[in-house]
Structure 1
């Protein structure tokens, strides 16, 4: 067609032919004037083409001191295959990537500022989202700083939290466990207000009190929800105080009354070096808020006053388990936490109290045992540190001395004496990791030696010697989600572990299953893993002792639910039998045999908070 004397011709195949030839020239290295060094791989290309597709590379090329020379651009953190895919796209307008490379292509497109490719990759990832990959995709979106992708992933998690919570990625997330004590006839506020208060509590714990997030997660944190709808520190209620740090406001002004740690004191004393004083530290809270992300993502009320939440705390994706507990008098399975109880399950003669010499180190979650007429206290937590040190108390001298330290720092474990040696098994190393290793202490040589490892990493397990063998009963699984029911026996002669009978299986009349594994009809049912009406009852933080040739596992907890049940192990037929339950459910209690009396008069059990 020739209007007005001009020749106009459109060659529909020219563009496709040209870009194909240009891409062929790139791959053969002809006329190329830029080299991309990507993790040891060299990729050739033409500056003009890349500058048109990538604003990032345009800026680099435009600032070259020698624009007519061959440019070298190095990338040490990108995938060579992903960059090759982007080069093909730059020349052909076709994006073709294997599904396993889409995230790498996204990362490279982000660096090159190729927004259209980022969006296409993000949409593809969203089209493949399911409960199994939601957490890993959220972590990726967060690392990329993609608010659009992050928002859509969070929306998916909000709609499918229970399914997501059953996946391996979710179970590996850090966990914060909270118990909120409730007066009778009170319920917790709605999810939004509830977790706004929780996030504020964590912020104040970190910033005003010098806590670390890892430390908060090592133990269950106890709070108290008052009848006037205010949240107070459970420790203050125990001590008889009533100081209130928050009310109906969404943001709770919460300060835990704990002593300032030595490391914090040292930092504050060096004002000349720029460290913060307490007042300056509080004044700088807004600046810290801006540095890290704090976000409530999703939550589910899985049973009466039991909540599961996913949130970002100080930039860390975390799971929050929250359990609202009623007054302990409502049920023998409830945990008595609001009063310091002096009750015991025995009838010993009247006990006289008098202060003894203190240990050299403050310890929580430690192991104790009697050895050669002396008391041994080993490991435990001392604020920031998981301890290796071991102290020995002589009751005749009322004096503590150090003995050889353990080879491994550990806490949340029990220990026992077997054939004249002291054994420590499992526990936690202070980094949220459960241990499988164990050690034996020889008092004559004053040294510790490793013993064969357990088959299962565990902490909060019961340990007891019986018939020249060492038994490890229950404990917490490596994910910390449930109590274990399996038990193991160690033979010090052959130095081998063997399985023994598991703790009892009881029957629940209800069959509904929720993530928390509590029976939704009756939270006092003390059940776990409900399958066709049968549940496995596991225990952690149980008290374990030997009496008259039997081993007793007393109380403890299964997930959130404290137990008042007691089981007795008979080594002759390798069986556990349920015996009379305690009057009060307990976890983390201590047990001792007193005067060899029958069951009703042999246990002295003190509450532990």
Structure 2
């Protein structure tokens, strides 16, 4: 017996010359099917008895459920005709002719089952032509997305029912076939024209129309700065508001500091208010980066600059605290149980055990939640902290412990809108136990341990410059610092309390009246035209003094003997001064004719460690998007 085996497209063709002997026991009687053809299994078993026979390997290939190879998976769009249809009878007939017979049955079974938007199945086939499902159906479209489910509901219904397109759209000399029900679900323009079978659209190009119809069918918006004007304009003409929002969202992902002004210029020329707001929003969210770029910030008008900064400050003011190490405390490690739940900041690398946290207060649940962790390179011991332009700035501090500790010149800022830390221009002089305050768009780094020098940071120029130093012999370390009515105040002193004011116009420090207290204040904050000083002692409790910056006089304000007598630090929201430490959070309310501590004390951030430094940032309020 001679055999020639030819393997082609997963099938084996066998050519044999056989002599059948009726009397022999090895007579092979092939099974005959009803149509008179040999059974494939019989031939396969026959070949297996041959020792020289090696069955061909299993061929695995992905096919669409309509029988087409996954390599050819694409929407059938002719050059002048875009059509969103299921495979036609003619296409199916072509596939059946082109594929072997054993694929034809598979194709018929697959096309009989429901499939939407490129559902596909893996098919394995052997030389015996038997088909095996080697995998579960994979849905290319993510139907877990609620927006995608809603936008594709009618499209899925039309395709599952194998409806032929019932609308021909003529645009730009070309045609697009689509389903009325699908377009009408998202577009009032098409909904108002359901009676038409042929619709001629003006004012929209073929390319733009294709992009928008693709979005309606797939919920995927293909937009860039090159076509965003046409897409948004077309979406407005066709009355598809969700497409406008989708284009804005997509552009928000593509806007950078380098192209934001270009996009803003396009939006203003084309009078696209949504795109203009998106550009302003990016500038607001990344204000410091834009402020340093003269090619962007330098070309904005005064009203535009005010608008960008105003947008950045919109939202709800939230009380926050930063964990810092006391200068005289030894830095310890955190309990292991707390490390797993602490979020990692973008600049933080390595273990979280030594990272310090920032917590924000949630009024709804009366509790504190972790917002972010500070970068590893940030030195919290003896650092200065303040806020400006809704950024948190942390400067200086002490690197290392004990005799090996050295003052740091590093400066970091945290953006609560993007939840990002960044390192900015370092100080001219390394400082520890400094006071950091902001006033009129500048940062002031005041003094430090045995330092009288003062530096001013201009964020637009991104540089530090020296200003008038503190008077020599004033105090070795400044106790507190604050700003009030555009003036900078610093307190300190060892033998008695002193208050100094910095005159920005004259670039000099002036002596202010001091009160009778010789105690080191717990904190000093400004509210309206008054400076409030809080003193804590075991015998008298908490005493509050206020300084009128206009008439330059001190007055007794209030006292409190209830609660913890541990030192605290203060932050102001509205007319309330929050006094925060690890055991309690007091609320000191200032009214026109009265000031008092509220009886109700807020919960303290019990998980926090070290000294707590309170401050206030504005967090954006979440808004629902149009879908």
Q: TM-score, normalised by structure 1?
A: 0.33
Radius of gyration: which is bigger? Answer: 2
Higher percent of residues as strand = 2
Q: TM-score, normalised by structure 2?
A: 0.32
